[in-house]
Amino acid sequence: MPKTRPVPALWREEVFHAAPGLAAAETLFDSLPDALFCVKDRDRRYVAANTAFVRAAGRRTRAELLGRTAREVFPAALAAGYEQQDDQVLSEGTAVHDRLEMVTRQDGGIGWFVSQKLPVRDAGGRIVALAGISRDLGTPAAQGGSLDPLAAALDTLHRDYAAPLRIGVLAKKAGLSNSQFQRRVSEMTGLTPRQLLTKARVEAAALALRGGDEPLGELAARCGFYDQAALSRQFRAYTGLSPGEYRRAFRA
Percent of the chain at pLDDT exceeding 70? 91
37 or 184: whose pLDDT is higher? 37
The predicted model scores a pTM of 0.64
- pLDDT score for 140: 35
- pLDDT score for 149: 55
- pLDDT score for 159: 83
CATH number at residue 174: 1.10.10.60
Cα 227 to Cα 30, 31, 144, 215, 220: the distances in Å are 43, 44, 39, 12, 6
Domain identity same for 111 and 214: no
CA distance from start to end of the chain: 46
Q: How many CB atoms lie within 10 A of CB 1?
A: 3
pLDDT of residue 99 exceeding 90: no
- pLDDT score for 6: 67
Q: How far apart are CA 116 and CA 98, in angstroms?
A: 6
Q: How far apart are CA 244 and CA 35, in angstroms?
A: 30
Looking at the structure of the chain, the number of domains it has is: 2
pLDDT digits (tens, 9 = 90+) for 103-153: 888 887 777 788 899 999 999 999 999 999 998 877 433 333 443 456 678
Domain identity same for 121 and 29: yes
Domain identity same for 122 and 155: no
Contact assessment for residue 12 and residue 120, using Cβ atoms and an 8 Å cutoff: no
- pLDDT score for 150: 66
pLDDT of residue 210 exceeding 60: yes
Residue 1 domain-assigned (yes or no): no
Domain identity same for 17 and 82: yes
- pLDDT score for 69: 96
101 or 13: whose pLDDT is higher? 13
Helix (H) or strand (E) holding 48: strand 46-49
- pLDDT score for 23: 92
Q: Which domain holds residue 215?
A: 148-251
Domain identity same for 42 and 114: yes
| Boundary of a domain, candidates 90, 106, 136 | 136
Domain identity same for 34 and 130: yes
State CA 20 to chain mean position distance: 26
- pLDDT score for 134: 94
Selection from 6-15, 18-27, 205-214 with the highest mean pLDDT: 18-27
Domain identity same for 124 and 223: no
Residue 2 domain-assigned (yes or no): no
CATH number at residue 23: 3.30.450.20
Domain identity same for 165 and 77: no
